[in-house]
Structure 1
Amino acid sequence: MKTVNWPSLQVLPDAATDAVVASGLLPELAHGFGGPFHFLLPDAFTANLRALQDTLAAAGVDGFVYYAKKANKAAAFVEAAAENGAGIDVASVAELREALGHGVRGEHLVVTGPAKDAALLRLAVAHSALIAVDALDELDAVITIALSGQVRPARVLLRALPSIQPHSRFGMTDEELATALDRCVQVGEALRVEGFSFHLSGYALQPRADLAARLVELCLEARVNGLEASRISIGGGLPISYTDADSWHAFLETQRPVHYHAGKTFRTGDFYPYHSPASGQTALAALLQTQPEDSQGTLAQVLKDAGVELLLEPGRALLDQAGATVFTVQGVKDRDDYQLLTVNGTSLSLSEQWFNSEYLPDPLLISQDPAAPTGVFPASVGAATCLESDMLTWRKIAFPRRPCAGDLLLYPNAAGYQMDSNESPFHDLSLPPKVVIDHTDRPRPRWRLDRHFT
């Protein structure tokens, strides 16, 4: 093969994942399921959750964490949230039922998403869930339910349209918010306005701090009219780091179309930022120490001075290192300077393709042939479908052993959005099952199937 400097993106080390690989369990699971599967590490979820909770406490900020369930359908993470004092962010009847069924109290649910249907709103009000109201007609629907003889008041946040993203389809304009507040005052005790929220794309901290401070101002103004207005939700948007800074920047500088099957090109701006200077709890700490525009102190101080509770709805940040996806190599084709692997699954189980992008962390080759040659063996990874575009990894990964049929490919740190956001039983292929690894500190990890209802 030609000598080529193949770009690589190694993930940060994770002892729990390494322990699962070292245990020898994965080949047995691959044989038992006869197809791709995901394994979940709920202990990592719990550790991430506690780190966010500890960060809020260290800053002296009253706060509450809702897990954004859309990031992964698994029940194991809902159960971990319920056991560790967190709530769940849901946007459908099925998600709400799942959360309740796995131990989350109704008052620890926040219902988000645009144009919620009537059944979802009725369930939310009946179970005292907090509703992020996205539009005036939705507010009218909530008011109608609240006035229909409900024992408990309907709990709402009013979602503001971010001024820096005026074309967002989420939230109400200043004029609409003023109208909404007037209607809420008129309704009286049947409706409890607990505060305001926003949906902001991107990961920059300063815009999020600026908008959070604006919501605090809205709370203070709403209190003048007798409304509770004691909480704001800033959504998710806490980045995580899959790799270190040097590896990420070196990858971006090195990668070229020649490094991808068929000369595939991606806009680097469409890649997820696989390294962030501040991630997870450090990103939250940095956000709380950010000084909002036109404020005299940090965001933490703004919140404390106003007596406003901060609500968070992270998904990816709670799922960092909480699972991986495993495929079996079914076939190998040799090309001029690389191989084309076909695995027993589809790219729909790596949902970055949904965003016209690619999941960039290098997959781990778990060789099943002790005699396989070692060296540098570049290979791209295709799916077991009839679609030319169905590639799990367009990039030619420089594997340290020659891949062979029967080998396993492990895609690391895939719990956040990758596993199931875009899954489909295309070709009548079964959806990959989720295996929960309860204890990675045992000589032989214990596992069970996830208890997701639907």
Structure 2
Amino acid sequence: MSTAGTGTAGTGTAGTGTAGTADTAADAGGGETLYLEPRLEERPAALLTTGAAFLHTLVDALGSPLNVVLPGQIAENAERFRAVFRRHRLTGRVFFAHKANRSSALVRRLVTTDAALDAASLGEMQHALASGWTGDRIMTTGPKDPEFLWLALRAGAVVNVDGPGELERAAELVRAYGLPRCRVVLRLSGFETSGTTLLSRRSRFGTPARSLKHLLDTADRYRDAVEPIGVGYHLDTTSLDEKAAALEGCLTAMEEMRVRGFSPRAVDVGGGFGVNYLAHADQWSRYTTALTRAVMGERPPLTWDGHGYGLRMENGTVKGALGLYPAHRPLAGAGYLDELLSRPAAGLGGRPLGTLLLESLHELYVEPGRALVDQCGITLGRVLEVRATDTGAHLVRLAMNAGDVGLEDHGVLVDPVLLPRDIGDGGGAGAGHAAVHLMGNLCLESDLITRRTVHLPRLPRPGDLLAFPNTAGYCMDFGATHAQRQPVARRVAVEREGESWHWCLDEQYWPITRPGGQRT
């Protein structure tokens, strides 16, 4: 790794709104200042304070936008999930859902832990194998073309199958090419519950649980080619009740498999454990309340052109639903998994789900994506232009576009951190509040980095950086394009050694130490 700047404590300023200091200041429309301060753990917080000058040096050299990843953080996050396994005395695996981020550094650092990897495409499978992963530590999910499925079978990966058709295709490839028997997890959906009706979320993935018999009939015909090792689900929801019902359904399905003569051992609860993006619950509550009031016309707009994030006024009544990610989530990540395993299984005697897994000697598989890269990445954008508007808010144009930082595309509202170009230029709350609209570099009216009015501790100036925290989970490169031939963000891996920050290009990162103690 290269070294750029020592960044000693106290030299840089990371300016964000802080609760209790400027929350009562007037915004551009005469209301209160509505900060949404990011939650920052020790690594990213240190980088944005002691490493501010270092980050300016990186953007000077590599351009804006720039993605920064913190490989050490993903290993720490994996250990937090593993700690939950130990707490419930469960065995199993933590699979990183690779689709959450394209980074080589994160994938290569994770391979040095006891985690596993979930590949959802041929390219992700190839990337994992080239990064040091072996097939026995990989599970394949998602739609699978023949090439992807063939490589997974050749490598000996677990195949998470969606239905009878995919199971048949895998078995036929095994037979046609004389490959080893394939381990498969049967993905289910549409679980039914006893007692109070709980609507099961519709999914395009998985086989309805009521059709398990047909799926097992198919597996029975191909016993020489496939080995069903368990069942699983992946629900696109934050509801613990829905996921608990699905896990209960999987436990029932495991018994059905045993009756049919199979020997299943793993239950896969998928991902969707969530991330807590914000530092203060009261700021989130205050903002969503104010947004509703703005849609109702009871206070000035909080967004560009009165965008309501799913809310609208019809005949004097607020209609629609707030289409935002719950940015402040006190229960998220490994803590969410712990709560799920502690939930009583209403249809199985009311005992905790984790206890039922343990007593049945089942392994637990989890597939966190966003939660495993929590706090692992920051996206930097340079301020190009600042100009006033007739509404009182300023337009701030950045050397990036909405595709480079997809926080709002995923419904995540969180403030960027202001990194002044002049390190001695305070930039804290005492420097004066500013309400701004963040605009991208595309020649499109729709290219808004944020639709909402963002509140900063002072007005940015050309040359300053805005650091968008916690973008590694789907918000860093998921939607990046070469539209209008604008550059896509380069990516660097950053680690701290003592008082110095070291970096290398993401693709050049390897988790090994060279003679002299410096990591590549």
Q: TM-score range by the shorter chain?
A: over 0.9
Question: Which residue matches 1:320?
Answer: 374
User: Which amino acid in structure 1 is aligned with residue 127 of structure 2?
Assistant: E
Question: Which residue matches 1:428?
Answer: 485
Question: Which residue matches 2:32?
Answer: 5
User: Which amino acid in structure 2 is aligned with residue 30 of structure 1?
Assistant: V
**1:188-208 deviations in Å (ceiling 9; x for gaps):** 232111111112111112221
Is residue 445 from structure 1 mapped to residue 509 from structure 2 by the alignment?
Answer: no
> Aligned-pair distance for 1:277?
2.9
* SS of 2:79 mapped into structure 1: helix
Is residue 339 from structure 1 mapped to residue 367 from structure 2 by the alignment?
Answer: no
Is residue 308 from structure 1 mapped to residue 365 from structure 2 by the alignment?
Answer: no
**1:53-75 deviations in Å (ceiling 9; x for gaps):** 01111111122100001111101
Whole-angstrom CA distance in 2 between matches of 1:309 and 1:400: 49
Alignment of 1:242-321 (within 5 A): 242-243=277-278, 244-255=280-291, 256=294, 258-267=301-310, 269-296=322-349, 297-321=351-375
Q: 1:58 to 1:166 in 2, by over 3 A?
A: closer
User: Which amino acid in structure 1 is aligned with residue 31 of structure 2?
Assistant: V
* SS of 1:78 mapped into structure 2: helix
> Aligned-pair distance for 1:398?
1.9
Residue identity over aligned pairs, in percent, reads: 28
Q: Are 1:328 and 1:344, in contact at CA under 8 Å, matched by a contact in 2? A: yes
User: Which amino acid in structure 2 is aligned with residue 85 of structure 1?
Assistant: D
* SS of 2:264 mapped into structure 1: coil
* SS of 2:132 mapped into structure 1: coil
User: Which amino acid in structure 1 is aligned with residue 248 of structure 2?
Assistant: A
Q: Are 1:158 and 1:196, in contact at CA under 8 Å, matched by a contact in 2? A: yes
Whole-angstrom CA distance in 2 between matches of 1:293 and 1:269: 31
Question: Which residue matches 1:189?
Answer: 224
Question: Which residue matches 1:361?
Answer: 414
* SS of 2:384 mapped into structure 1: strand
Whole-angstrom CA distance in 1 between matches of 2:377 and 2:179: 42
Whole-angstrom CA distance in 1 between matches of 2:352 and 2:413: 35
Whole-angstrom CA distance in 2 between matches of 1:284 and 1:87: 17
Cα RMSD for the two superposed structures: 1.9
> Aligned-pair distance for 1:3?
3.9
* SS of 1:158 mapped into structure 2: strand
Whole-angstrom CA distance in 2 between matches of 1:108 and 1:371: 49
Alignment of 1:167-186 (within 5 A): 167-174=202-209, 176-186=211-221
User: Which amino acid in structure 2 is aligned with residue 142 of structure 1?
Assistant: A
Number of matched pairs: 449
Question: Which residue matches 1:48?
Answer: 77
Q: Are 1:372 and 1:402, in contact at CA under 8 Å, matched by a contact in 2? A: no
Q: Are 1:90 and 1:109, in contact at CA under 8 Å, matched by a contact in 2? A: yes
* SS of 1:147 mapped into structure 2: helix
Whole-angstrom CA distance in 2 between matches of 1:443 and 1:190: 55
Whole-angstrom CA distance in 1 between matches of 2:337 and 2:365: 12
User: Which amino acid in structure 2 is aligned with residue 239 of structure 1?
Assistant: G
Question: Which residue matches 2:261?
Answer: 226
Is residue 351 from structure 1 mapped to residue 406 from structure 2 by the alignment?
Answer: yes
* SS of 1:271 mapped into structure 2: coil
> Aligned-pair distance for 1:186?
2.4
Question: Which residue matches 1:214?
Answer: 249
Whole-angstrom CA distance in 1 between matches of 2:492 and 2:456: 26
Q: Are 2:34 and 2:283, in contact at CA under 8 Å, matched by a contact in 1? A: no
Q: Are 1:367 and 1:401, in contact at CA under 8 Å, matched by a contact in 2? A: no
> Aligned-pair distance for 1:175?
5.2
Whole-angstrom CA distance in 1 between matches of 2:93 and 2:470: 25
Question: Which residue matches 1:199?
Answer: 234
* SS of 1:194 mapped into structure 2: strand
Gaps in structure 1 of 5+ consecutive residues: none
Q: 1:162 to 1:452 in 2, by over 3 A?
A: farther
User: Which amino acid in structure 1 is aligned with residue 394 of structure 2?
Assistant: Q
Q: Are 2:232 and 2:250, in contact at CA under 8 Å, matched by a contact in 1? A: yes
* SS of 1:330 mapped into structure 2: strand
Whole-angstrom CA distance in 2 between matches of 1:431 and 1:228: 48
Whole-angstrom CA distance in 2 between matches of 1:167 and 1:320: 27
Question: Which residue matches 1:17?
Answer: 44
Q: Are 1:59 and 1:300, in contact at CA under 8 Å, matched by a contact in 2? A: yes
User: Which amino acid in structure 2 is aligned with residue 245 of structure 1?
Assistant: A
Q: Are 1:6 and 1:396, in contact at CA under 8 Å, matched by a contact in 2? A: no
Whole-angstrom CA distance in 2 between matches of 1:452 and 1:139: 38
* SS of 2:251 mapped into structure 1: helix
Question: Which residue matches 2:113?
Answer: 84
Aligned residue among 160, 184, 190 for 1:162: 190
Whole-angstrom CA distance in 2 between matches of 1:443 and 1:352: 31
Whole-angstrom CA distance in 2 between matches of 1:429 and 1:289: 49
Q: 1:176 to 1:281 in 2, by over 3 A?
A: same
Whole-angstrom CA distance in 1 between matches of 2:140 and 2:133: 13
**1:189-235 deviations in Å (ceiling 9; x for gaps):** 32111111112111112221221121122112212222121111111
Q: 1:122 to 1:434 in 2, by over 3 A?
A: same
> Aligned-pair distance for 1:251?
1.9
> Aligned-pair distance for 1:183?
2.1
Q: Are 1:38 and 1:419, in contact at CA under 8 Å, matched by a contact in 2? A: yes
**1:79-131 deviations in Å (ceiling 9; x for gaps):** 122110111111111000001111111011111113x1111111111111111
> Aligned-pair distance for 1:182?
1.4
* SS of 1:38 mapped into structure 2: strand
* SS of 2:322 mapped into structure 1: helix
> Aligned-pair distance for 1:288?
0.8
Q: Are 2:201 and 2:235, in contact at CA under 8 Å, matched by a contact in 1? A: no
Give TM-score scaled by structure 1 length.
0.94
Q: Are 2:408 and 2:450, in contact at CA under 8 Å, matched by a contact in 1? A: no
Q: Are 2:407 and 2:471, in contact at CA under 8 Å, matched by a contact in 1? A: no
Aligned residue among 412, 429, 441 for 1:384: 441
Whole-angstrom CA distance in 2 between matches of 1:252 and 1:351: 20
Is residue 117 from structure 1 mapped to residue 145 from structure 2 by the alignment?
Answer: yes
Whole-angstrom CA distance in 2 between matches of 1:84 and 1:166: 34
**1:236-279 deviations in Å (ceiling 9; x for gaps):** 01012112322221221123351212222212631111122311
Q: 1:196 to 1:452 in 2, by over 3 A?
A: farther
